[in-house]
Copies of this chain bind each other. A is one copy, B any other.
Amino acid sequence: MNIIKVASDSRSTAVAGAIAGVMREQDSVDVQAIGAGAVNQAVKAVAIARGYLELDGIDIICIPSFVEVTIEGQERTAVRLGVERRGSEAAPPTSEPEPESEPEPESGGPTY
């Protein structure tokens, strides 16, 4: 699993380039940040990456969540932005699963 770690002094355009690079090849990447400055850079990077990827016809969305991480023996709460292609696993399950093959139409009723 890819994780891009962002610090408060990360350049948002550089992080955006990294996000775009991964998203051109894969369906998702996690961007992780600890602290307000880092979260801000991470969110801006996703916004900038959207612009980069738009040119490739790739539409990305993000899913924020919290994760506990241990850094130098200290437990910290990080913000994770799960970046995904829009609609890649987004589509809600249809009420009926698509059949593997088209069933025979039943218009004629049973033929026995």
Contacts and interface: CB of A to CB of B under 8 A. Distances in A.
Interface of A: 8, 35-37, 39-40, 43-44, 46-47, 50, 59, 61-66, 79, 81, 84, 86-87, 90-92, 94-95, 98, 106-107, 109-110
B61 A90 contact: yes
A50 B43 CA distance: 17
A40 B36 contact: yes
When all copies of this chain in the complex are counted, the total is 2
Nearest to A42: B43
A94 B92 contact: no
Contact of A90 (B39, B64, B91): B91
Contacts of A47: 64-66, 79
